[in-house]
Amino acid sequence: FDTSDDAGVYRLTPEFYYGLSDQLELGLYLLTTKQPGRSFMFDGPKARLKFIAPHDETAGAFWGLNLEVGKTSLRVSQQPWGTELKGIYGYRWPRWLLAVNADLDWESTSPFGGPATLGVDTKLAYATDAGYQVGFESYNELGAPREPGQFRDRSQTLYAVLDTELGPKLDLDAGIGRGLTTASDRWIVKFILGIHY
């Protein structure tokens, strides 16, 4: 749910994924948007391939790579093709989680075409005795790696988030975000519901 304008925009993105192995995962996003007074509109698919190196899932460092390629409508992007390469690094303590993602994005008329832009996303979360995590997520666009723009001219959003399991095969990631610059959406509310088979 995006309230960047007076009317607001709703985004619904079903994601399907399949584990090819313990380290490699194949996924598919189906992007849709809805504006008040209109039906949901399909904005295109995105394919995803994610690799996470073997690691201890309860403590210590972990790292991986995530590649996404998709062709979307102009409601989502100014260019039809979008490609993102994400580097993933994180560290777990008994209570705390710190994760950092470095993103390279290309938007063009073809995959990997045009100049790349850089973004850095971070997450800091704390595991409570009640069995859920609370924390903050930060999403920051930095611009072209060779010519980074002014911080205030790029989208910067800070979220307060909650992660929890609703059952043995159901989990929830919910958050409310506030844009920190004039280039950012003012408020964003997100719900990610995961169903495992």
Q: How confident is the model at residue 3 (pLDDT cuts 50, 70, 90)?
A: very low
pLDDT in tens, 97-139: 999 999 999 988 887 777 888 999 999 999 999 999 999 999 9
Output the pTM of the full model.
0.86
Q: Going by C-beta distance under 8 Å and a sequence separation of 6 or more, which residues neighbour residue 75?
A: 33, 41, 43
